[in-house]
Amino acid sequence: MSILKVSRLGHPVLREKAKLLSPAVLEKPEIQTLIDNMIETMFEYHGVGLAAPQVHESLMLAVIESEGERGRIPLTVLVNPVVTLMEGEMIEDWEGCLSIPDLRGRVARHARLQVEALDRRGKPMKFVAEGFFARVIQHEYDHLMGGVYLDRMGDLHTLTHLEEMKRYWMPEPEPSEPER
């Protein structure tokens, strides 16, 4: 497996709608290798999701996994996803992107959504995602549609470098009382 070069904001591949993958193309060894390499690249750069356009491939393909403090998301490969936003709460939270390194911003996203897609073997899947999983899916889906999280920011005043976010935006932990 290989670590792939991540496309950065300004590269045209990030601003075009990705192409659908047919089941016959999905079966090809080079596509399966691409999926494996995308997963390895996502892990290498400590991402929770990666869309094919982010590795210079204009294909409707994304990988997602998280074990972090925002919750566990099992390894999920989405091929040709169709996302249906569900009525209800919007949640604003911090987002970053491997294609826009060292920046973060607050983005409002739907708390729940329905996803229909193929898995890496071409098997259809349909599920409802909530919370952080729903946020990550929306972020990666935006990449497949030619967008980035900056396009979704309602207020650019929260756009910040990662180090400045940690310094000025993140609350200091409350000191705990000593045990008696």
**Is the residue at 136 inside a domain?**
yes
- DSSP annotation of 129 reads E
pLDDT digits 0-9 by tens, 19-60:
999 999 999 999 999 999 999 999 999 999 999 999 999 999
How many domains, in total, are found in the chain? 1
**Is the residue at 178 inside a domain?**
no
**Is the residue at 176 inside a domain?**
no
Residue 108 CA: distances (Å) to CA of 46, 89, 175: 22, 10, 30
Q: For position 145, what pLDDT does the model report?
A: 98
- Taking the C-alpha atoms of residue 70 and residue 29, their distance in angstroms, rounded to an integer, is 34
**Is the residue at 56 inside a domain?**
yes
140 annotated active-site: yes
**Is the residue at 18 inside a domain?**
yes
For the CA atoms of 60, 121, 43, 58, the dihedral, rounded to the nearest 10 degrees, stands at -20
Q: For position 69, what pLDDT does the model report?
A: 81
List the structure tokens of 90: 């919007």
Q: For position 162, what pLDDT does the model report?
A: 86
Three-state SS at 74: strand
Q: For position 37, what pLDDT does the model report?
A: 98
**Is the residue at 7 inside a domain?**
no
Give the predicted TM-score (pTM) of the model.
0.91
- Calculate what percentage of the chain has a pLDDT beyond 70: 95
Give the closest residue to 121 by CA, choosing from 2, 4, 35: 35
- Taking the C-alpha atoms of residue 102 and residue 118, their distance in angstroms, rounded to an integer, is 32
Q: For position 93, what pLDDT does the model report?
A: 95
**Is the residue at 146 inside a domain?**
yes
**Is the residue at 107 inside a domain?**
yes
Which residue in the list 140, 164, 172, 179 is annotated as catalytic? 140
Range of the domain at 123: 12-169
List the structure tokens of 34: 């691409």
Q: For position 68, what pLDDT does the model report?
A: 80
Q: Tell me the CATH number at 124.
A: 3.90.45.10
- Taking the C-alpha atoms of residue 97 and residue 109, their distance in angstroms, rounded to an integer, is 15
Low-confidence ranges of the chain (pLDDT < 50): 180
Q: For position 165, what pLDDT does the model report?
A: 87
